[in-house]
Structure 1
Amino acid sequence: MDEVEVVVAHSERATLRVGEVFLKVDADQARIDREVEAMSLVPVPTPEVLWRKPPVLALAALPGTTLGRLGGPSTGSPTAWAAAGAAIRRLHDAPLPPWPGRAGRSVAALVAELDDECGALVANGVLPADLVARSRRVAEAAFRPWTPAFTHGDLQIAHVFVDGDEVTGIIDWSEAGRGDPLYDLATFTLGHEEHIGDVAAGYGADLDLDVIHAWWSLRSLLAVRWLIEHGFDPFAPGCEVDVLRRCSARV
């Protein structure tokens, strides 16, 4: 009998693997509905939906492996990273979905959320005030006009699967919607700055590094407390706090 592997689990949702089947358990049915709809629309490979019985969504496992993980080395070749960049470009060029996504929050909403989170990080002694202040200044470059694209919204490196140099699928579409394409590209390259050139080559465009750095800083600032509260370690080598230290060194 196959063992049950806990892929990720926290108070909002959990993903289990049993053999070649992934079971996503989510109390928010709207989020599951959005994920399934997004996968039906995007021009990139996604997992096959096997069945749905709220609150569970069953997906077939994708062939291949991820390109790596945050805080760890990349296992993918430069060609594989470029292939991922090309897949992301196909997504961003797709017709816009009818709903906003995580990457599409307004500038005013982002500024308010970031200010509140920076205040909490300092008030609760989670991060030094000078690190938060410098990181906040780096993040400001993300607050600019942008043209909406079809975005994944949580395009972590662990969500992109490759087999050799071919992208076999992208998972976890619950945050998809209209948004800033550079948010996706920054999320994907978070902690793997050495592959930005490869991704840009596959994407077919120069990437604004100031905005990429800004999204790295902004995403990390917003994530640190959530990660701690849900049992993850943003202080691990190469993870969010290290990203903030590298970004803040630029100002």
Structure 2
Amino acid sequence: MNLDPNRVSESRPILANRLIATGILAAESPWAPLPGGADNDLVAARSADGTEVIVKTRRPERSNRHALAAWAAARMTGIGIPVPIPLWHDDQTWIETRIPGLPLADSDDDQAAADAGRLLRRVHSLPVDGFGRLDAEGKGRYPDWGTWLLALPTADTLPGPVAGLAHQARQAVGANLRSLDVHKASLLHGDWTARHVLADDGRVTGFVDLESVRGGDPLADLAGWSLQESGPLTTALFAGYFEPGEPDADQALVLALYRLRIAASLLAFHHACGRSDLVALRRTQLRADLTALEAGRPTAIPLVTPM
């Protein structure tokens, strides 16, 4: 497919021509738009040496985290985790090798989900310095895990009923800080969902979107996934991660507490984006976990999942 101004927005062909002129993309490179995320617009293209690549263009209101993604890719590649290889980037644009396969969110493959769990456990074996979002050198912005845990949205950023739930979540997390006492930070994916796992025929071909990596407790990655994926897919992921076992009672409590913290943050994000459907889902999830925690019966898998 040649460049076609009628198929994409005006800025895309201009960018493509600039990258072709500088020898980064192949002459008359295909320029196929792909579904993007909250931070980037994506297209598939071909590099000057014929390699299939993904070109990400950062949206103006989003932070530049390209250097962090490059750092994370190097760390994960070093222990054999399949991730895209960064080829070139500047402040606005990122180019990486294209990994074959489909997002696990589209295939709903339990075997691949278990494989993803095993690989994620390997990622979590990497230590980092500090907690929360990392900078370009891999240092966390928070000196301890408890500070990150309690850095929840304030009530004045949310409407009344939603603010009340966020406040209850913060109280529950604060009351159980001893159960969440983490002294050493591990490398976390930070936006661990099925759309960021590519797979083919029951095998993971790669983890993508490394711009949100963090330092913290590995169970936080698992809790974030469980809030956003189906119960069966989470069960499959956990089976691979905890192989040959499953989360014990103490881990179930910790997972529930992380879900409260993450769901409260997602609640604020979805409210700001005007996503009433997702606001309703997070409210229901928060209520379910708060009720189970109060009854002394926290669960490893959420009682309420998206599907």
Normalising to structure 2: TM-score of the pair?
Answer: 0.65
Q: Partner of 2:287 in structure 1?
A: 245
Q: Aligned pair 1:201/2:239, yes or no?
A: yes
Distance change in 2, residues 1:186/1:126 (3 Å): same
> Partners in 1 of 2:192 and 2:103 — Cα distance?
12
Preserved contact between residue 162 and residue 168 of structure 1 (Cα < 8 Å) = yes
Letter in 1 for 2:266: A
1:167 aligned residue (201, 204, 215): 204
**For the aligned residues, what is the CA RMSD?**
3.0
Deviation at 1:3, TM superposition (A): 4.2
1:132-151 alignment runs, 5 A limit: 132-140=166-174, 141=176, 144-146=180-182, 147-151=184-188
Letter in 1 for 2:196: H
Q: Aligned pair 1:15/2:41, yes or no?
A: yes
- SS for the counterpart of 2:37 is strand
> Partners in 2 of 1:108 and 1:222 — Cα distance?
15
**Matched pairs, number:** 236
> Partners in 2 of 1:118 and 1:167 — Cα distance?
39
1:120 aligned residue (134, 156, 167): 156
> Partners in 1 of 2:234 and 2:99 — Cα distance?
25
- SS for the counterpart of 2:43 is strand
Preserved contact between residue 234 and residue 241 of structure 1 (Cα < 8 Å) = no
Distance change in 2, residues 1:47/1:126 (3 Å): farther
- SS for the counterpart of 2:210 is coil
Q: Aligned pair 1:41/2:75, yes or no?
A: yes
2:111 aligned residue (72, 75, 79): 79
1:210-229 alignment runs, 5 A limit: 210-229=253-272
Q: Partner of 2:16 in structure 1?
A: none
- SS for the counterpart of 1:149 is strand
Instruction: Please say which of residues 172-181 and 194-203 is displaced more in the overlay.
Output: 194-203
Preserved contact between residue 108 and residue 233 of structure 2 (Cα < 8 Å) = no
Preserved contact between residue 82 and residue 201 of structure 1 (Cα < 8 Å) = yes
> Partners in 1 of 2:98 and 2:280 — Cα distance?
28
Q: Which has the larger radius of gyration?
A: 2
Instruction: Please say which of residues 18-27 and 156-165 is displaced more in the overlay.
Output: 18-27
Gaps of 5+ in 1: 69-73
> Partners in 2 of 1:3 and 1:25 — Cα distance?
17
Letter in 1 for 2:238: A
Letter in 1 for 2:95: A
Preserved contact between residue 34 and residue 43 of structure 2 (Cα < 8 Å) = yes
> Partners in 2 of 1:198 and 1:162 — Cα distance?
14
Distance change in 2, residues 1:170/1:126 (3 Å): farther
Instruction: Please say which of residues 195-204 and 84-93 is displaced more in the overlay.
Output: 195-204
Distance change in 2, residues 1:134/1:53 (3 Å): closer
Q: Partner of 1:110 in structure 2?
A: 148
Distance change in 2, residues 1:138/1:161 (3 Å): farther
Q: Deviation per CA, 1:102-150, whole angstroms, max 9, x where unpaired? A: 3964344235422xx252366x336263x44544455444662124222
Distance change in 2, residues 1:78/1:6 (3 Å): closer
Preserved contact between residue 135 and residue 247 of structure 1 (Cα < 8 Å) = no
Instruction: Using the aligned pairs only, state the percent identity.
Output: 21
Q: Aligned pair 1:4/2:33, yes or no?
A: yes
> Partners in 1 of 2:281 and 2:255 — Cα distance?
16
Letter in 1 for 2:97: A
Gaps of 5+ in 2: 2-30, 46-52, 135-139, 295-307
User: RCO higher in 1 or 2 (8 Å CA, sep ≥ 6)?
Assistant: 1
